[in-house]
Structure 1
Amino acid sequence: MLRCLLMILCLTFPACRAPDGVIAPVPPAGLAEVWVDAARGGAGDGSRARPFASLSELLARGPGGGAPVRVHLAPGRYPGSFLLPAGWELVGAGAVLHGAGTEPVIRAPEGVRLKDLVIEGGTWGLDASGAVRLEAVRLRGQGLGAVRMESGRLTVEGGGLEAAGTGAVGVFLGAGSRAELRGTTFTGAYRRGVEARNAEAELESVRFRGPQTALYQEAGRVRLRHVSVEGGREVGLFVQRGTLRLEDVTVTGHEFGLQSMKATLEGWGFTSVRAVRAGVALVGSQVELEDTVVLGSGAFGGVSLVASETVLRGLRVDGAEEYGLMVTRGRLRLERAVLTRLTTRDGESGDGLHLRDAQVEVEGLVVREAAGVGVLAAQGSQVVLREASLESCREAGVWAETLGRVTAVGVEVRGSRGPALVAMADGVLRVDALTARDNAAGLVMADCEGATGVTLGRVTGQGRETGPALACVASASP
């Protein structure tokens, strides 16, 4: 009886409110739904029973009075260039939107949602702004690129992009745009898989198979997480003046695995495999990377740093040509590094660490089977070396020349075909707690000219008596 009275009062007095604790349900504002079937002939009204025969016919009628519409596309081929109103959704299962000529297949200047579709042909597959979402969408065979976002926010879940030839871009992101790509595959010889210009992007579980450059970034911020890259000929990942964060990223092949110019790099778990020139080449950059691996590299060495401020923790280089790690100018802090099987073509290189005009601090270094020197400091480099094992370095364990200065504590040099230590051309070595064994040319080689000098403390194993006395070689004061 009480419930009936409440209902009568509320009907009689419109201002009556529901009792406390009871919230009147508000029905969701759903999208208008329209059906299209390219295989159907004759006139239709867009209902499930009588769908329109083409997407162009639907767009010409302009249903919904300007409100967003969800369009269900039946399997089939839908030719044309389509301009979609704001907030529309296209959902298909096997539907192919095909474009020809000089227009994009789809233009969506105010956002769009696409699901379970194939977009083929056209200059661009999708040219859009606003809020754009792609779910299980495949784009293939575009002349200029698959997706172009001059502004707005792009979300891509699954699906794939397939290049028809060379020269196209997979995803282009203009200034101020944002993008999230997850579980997407890029296939074929795209010139650039993702090109981001002063944009923000996050790629997770994305695979690149064939793009010449997987990521080309100018300014902005990009994060790569669980990403693999292979099959291209140019730089795998390139960033200039932007911030790039790497988390579990592998680049196989390519000219360089990772290259930067005046950029900021951070993260962990970057791996380069069989780079043609260098696994990592960074110029004028701010860098902090952990657990970096380079397996096989060409004439520019494993890792090349020029005028950069760098922290590397947990570096492994195996099978590099010319150098394991080369630093020219700048500063480096290196912790826990293992450099093995370093080769040379001309017999003048093959060093583990090759340092020129650099400020370097190293702790926990292993160099094994180097065709040149374990650690070479030249051209005014200032090097602090702690806890290093240098084994089978053909020319020498540690070499200082041309005003290079090395201060080392806790160093083992074993199995060199030359001496353990070399100081030439005003190079200075100060080594404490040195273990030297089985080095073919003895403990120290020095030219003893100018400022050249070697100071030794606590030497174990191979003593100075193995060679003639050198005036510039002295024992450290007790």
Structure 2
Amino acid sequence: MRVDSICYVDGVLCAKLGLSALLCLFSFTVSLCAASLLGCEDPELPPNTYVPRHDAGEPPCAPGQLRGMSGCVSVGVQGCTGDSVGEDGLCRPALERCSPGTVPTFDGGCLEAGIPGCAAEFVEGGGCHPTMAKCPEGTFAVPQRGCISIDGPDGCGSGPWGQVAEVPGDIHVDPSYAAGGGDGSRDRPFATLAEALSAVQADGRVVLAEGEYDEPVEISKPIELVGRCASRVVLRGEQSDPSGNVSAVWIHDVEGAGLRGVSVISPSIGLFVQAAEVSVRDVRVTGASGSGVVVALPGASLELSRSLVQASWAGEGTGDQWTSVLVLSGARARLTESALVDGTVHLRITSEAEGVVAEGNLLEITPQQAETTAPVGVILEAGALQLDASALVHHRLGALVTGASAELTATRSLFAAPPEGVQEAGDVVVEQGARATLEGSVLSGACDAQLAVAGAGTAVEVSGTLFQGAAAAEVGRLGYAVEQRGGALSLSSSAVRQAGDAGLVVSGGTFSARGVVVAGTRARPIHRDRAAGVLVRGARATLASTVVLGAHVAGVAASQGAELELTESLIEGTRPEERDSTGGVGLLSAASARIAVQRSAVLESRVAGMLLLASPSTVEDTLIQGVESGTFSTLSAGGQMESVSDLGDGLLVLRSTAQVSSVQAEGCARAGLLFGDSDGALARARSTGNRFGLVVQGTRAPELSQDNTFEDNQESDHVTEGALPVPTSAAPAP
């Protein structure tokens, strides 16, 4: 036994035991006298460590449990298996064994997120990161296929017709044929497209030899236009429909038309599909302004595959608007294994479009264009978009889903904002009553918010998704993984790794999380009053089976009338980067409407495990352990800086009504439990191995039941008229 502990026990025994008990312990007190010769008058306090004990007559609880009202109660995340359960019986996800592109699970495994079956040339840092920069000239990037040729799998071949095999009904065109008397055969082709389009029969094909065709293409019968290959066949004419839409290729009022193996240079619209069903494959569409592909009107349907749609701005760009693919007015579209590159908007769906499916595509802004525009990957204003195994790379905004008739389903996809950060960058924004489902995806890059949710009626569900690297977009700007300003957001089986100032920020609407890991925030936050693993302001949030690790100011923070429920969760390692820095509170609440904590654990904090100020609270069946001494700096109501040093409390309740039961506080540098001018009730609590067990101070005090246990504390088990310094505000100083 340490000398200082012997000295402490001597004093406690004299104060607590009656005469008969002291006589029985005479021999023990003799030994204490010997200890006094070793310096008991001014003992050094032992470190913040404690070996839990159990009450006499009661069997000890298993690791990861504490004694509640009806026996041993498990705390923290439940249902864990394998290596996720530590020696202390608490569940922690195996972060160190999961690669950067995966989500740690509570059964010791790692859940794959992002694009599956990634092409080898795009695998980077454990994840799939397709980009045009990794592909040679004449090819484009497709996430699961790699770098594929713009000329398709068969290439250009040789001779006028390349690899295009002749079939009955073909009509041929060769602009270099000068012999005259063309009849559309291979030997005597027509010299112009107009002749071929007039001669071809329904279900036939017009086959184009190498060359530039400076004439418009209008198709209104079920035919296919087939070029030798996209790099050698160019369509660059223009025409106007009755509404004044100018296009190079206009396909309308037909079922079963097709386009293959050509390049289209857009005068305003490259390919215009109007009330027609069209299949497009191995095609390149370029232009400086306007739209690459437009699909419009009820009955219109586009199948686009293995194609490249790219803005052709010269140098640093002209600043003109370019939309790669526009779907509107009741039309449908399916995009597969294609690349939409540069421009201002890659895919826009509006005006009650019936539905769009995009599978295995790349939507990218290349570095040379990123600084000249504010590009958006997807704008979904009406209709439904199903996005799968696709990559949206280096947009200022990856996807904007807006309006009550818009619905996004994104699975196994990558949203990657520029890693160096641009102002107001984001991966996904859902607003104004829209709906969105994100599953098995990755959101990354330097963003103001990787996922932003706002507006009444907006509903978002996220599962199996990884948020990583949400540093602020630029110096002096905040950076969040998720920011919710309204609507309803449900987050499950997901992870936030290395967020910016905060992992999850909820300032409006209702939020729920289950099976979520938030690991790491910015070591030096820009605004400490807006820094936390999870930050709830004036909103309702429910956190269940949630793990918050390595935050710096606060693990979980609630304020401004927030309602917070924390159940079967773990908050661990909340500390500032430097010992004399402010912050380090596991759960911090200031002027919240309601706080409810059940069956949770708050471990290894600095300053306080839980700090509840002016917040009606209920804390039940919860473990608070290992709080270091530290400084907490706040802003008072008058805006004055206030610093309180040498805090180190387990549960710090200030000016609140708190119902506390079956709470165990141990290993705290100052008080295990401290009620400052607060009332409520304290029942079956256990405070051991702290400097003080329970401290009550101020004019209000909680009701204490007879089943509380305050023992083995270093200086005093129970202080009834304390005067320890405490903060008057719980708002961290910015």
Partner of 1:68: 276
Contact 1:36 1:54 in 2 (8 A): no
Partner residue of 2:521? 275
Alignment of 1:53-132 (within 5 A): 53-54=233-234, 60-65=248-253, 66-74=274-282, 77-80=284-287, 81-86=291-296, 87-93=300-306, 95-99=307-311, 100=313, 101-110=320-329, 111=331, 112-129=333-350, 130=353, 131-132=355-356
In the TM superposition, what is the alpha-carbon distance from 1:34 to its structure 2 partner?
10
Greater strand fraction, Structure 1 or Structure 2 = 1
CA contact (8 A) 1:38 1:54 kept: no
> What is the 5 A alignment of 1:142-153?
143=373, 144-153=375-384
Change (3 A) 1:35 1:289: farther
Q: Name which of 506, 509, 515 aligns with 1:260.
A: 506
1: distance between equivalents of 2:585 and 2:207? 62
Give the letter aligned to residue 427 of structure 2.
G
1:426–1:291 distance in 2 versus 1, CA, 3 Å: same
Aligned equivalent of 2:474: none
Match of residue 555, structure 2, among 302, 314, 339: 302
Runs (5+) with no aligned partner, structure 1: 1-31, 344-349, 450-478
Q: 1:280 to 1:61 in 2, by over 3 A?
A: closer
Report the CA distance between 1:385 and its aligned residue: 1.2
Residue 598 of structure 2 aligns with an amino acid whose one-letter code is: E
User: Partners of 2:539 and 2:327 in 1: how far apart?
Assistant: 38
Q: After superposition, what is the alpha-carbon deviation per residue over 1:384-430, rounded to whole angstroms, capped at 9, x for unaligned?
A: 1111111101111111113x1241211111111x2101111224133
Normalised to the residue count of structure 2, the TM-score between the two structures is 0.52
Q: 8 Å contact 1:35–1:72 — kept in the other structure?
A: no
User: Structure 1's 261 and 37: CA in aligned 2 closer, same or farther, altered over 3 A?
Assistant: farther
- The 5 A counterparts of 1:12-411 are 40-41=210-211, 46-48=224-226, 53-54=233-234, 60-65=248-253, 66-74=274-282, 77-80=284-287, 81-86=291-296, 87-93=300-306, 95-99=307-311, 100=313, 101-110=320-329, 111=331, 112-129=333-350, 130=353, 131-141=355-365, 143=373, 144-163=375-394, 168-176=396-404, 177-189=406-418, 191-198=425-432, 199-212=434-447, 213-219=449-455, 220-233=458-471, 234-253=479-498, 254-276=500-522, 277-299=531-553, 301-306=554-559, 307-321=561-575, 322-329=584-591, 330-343=593-606, 350-371=607-628, 372-379=648-655, 381-402=656-677, 404-411=678-685
Offset of residue 92 of structure 1: 2.3
Q: Percent identity?
A: 20
* 8 Å contact from structure 2 (residues 285, 292) kept in 1: no
Q: State the superposition RMSD in angstroms.
A: 2.7
1:196-231 Cα shifts (integer Å, max 9, x gaps): 112111111111121412111112111111111001
The DSSP-based 3-state class of the residue aligned with 1:363 is strand
The structure having more radius of gyration, on CA atoms, is: 2
How many Å separate the matches in 2 of 1:33 and 1:208? Answer: 45
Which residue of the partner structure matches residue 703 of structure 2? 430
The structure, 1 or 2, with the larger RCO (C-alpha pairs under 8 Å, 6+ apart) is 2
Matched with 1:452 is: none
Q: SS at 2:403's partner residue?
A: coil
Partners of 1:411 and 1:34 lie apart in 2 by 85
Distance, in Å, in 2 between the alignment partners of 1:446 and 1:316 is 31
Question: 1:33–1:69: 8 Å Cα contact kept in structure 2?
Answer: no
Work out the CA distance in 2 between the residues paired with 1:39 and 1:262.
61
Secondary structure in 1 aligned to 2:568?
A: strand
Count of matched residue pairs: 403
Contact 1:105 1:125 in 2 (8 A): yes
Inter-partner Cα distance in structure 2 for 1:312 and 1:39: 69
CA distance in 2, matches of 1:136, 1:265: 31
SS at match of 1:262: strand
CA distance in 2, matches of 1:334, 1:197: 31
CA change 1:440–1:39 in 2 (3 A) is: farther
Structure 2: 5+ residue runs without aligned partners? 1-201, 218-222, 239-246, 254-273, 314-319, 472-478, 523-530, 576-583, 629-647, 724-734
Give the TM-score normalised by the residue count of structure 1: 0.78
Q: In structure 2, what is the equivalent of residue 465 of structure 1? A: none
Q: 1:423 to 1:223 in 2, by over 3 A?
A: same
Contact 1:284 1:308 in 2 (8 A): yes
Q: Could you tell me which amino acid in structure 1 is paired with residue 417 of structure 2?
A: G
Q: Residue 364 of structure 1 aligns to which amino acid in structure 2?
A: D
Bigger CA drift: 238-247 or 438-447? 438-447
Task: Spell out, residue by residue over 1:289-324, the C-alpha distance to the aligned partner (whole angstroms, 9 max, x if none).
Answer: 21111001122x100011112222112011013211
3-state SS of the aligned residue for 1:97?
strand
| SS of alignment partner, residue 275 of structure 1 | coil
CA contact (8 A) 1:159 1:184 kept: yes
Partners of 1:36 and 1:289 lie apart in 2 by 62
Offset of residue 39 of structure 1: 9.6
1:232-259: CA deviations, max 9, x gaps? 2101100112110111121112211100
Change (3 A) 1:441 1:104: same
Change (3 A) 1:91 1:284: same
Letter in 2 for 1:207: V
Change in Cα spacing, 1:368 to 1:55, as seen in structure 2 (3 Å) is: farther
Q: Distance in 1 between matches of 2:342 and 2:702?
A: 65
Take 1:181 and 1:96, find their aligned partners in 2: how far apart are those partners? Answer: 22
Q: What one-letter code is carried by the residue in structure 1 that aligns with 2:599? A: R
User: Could you tell me whether the CA contact under 8 Å between 2:497 and 2:520 is conserved in 1?
Assistant: yes
CA shift at 1:42, angstroms? 6.0
Decide whether the 8 Å contact of 2:398 with 2:417 is kept in 1. no
State the AA in 2 paired with 1:325: L
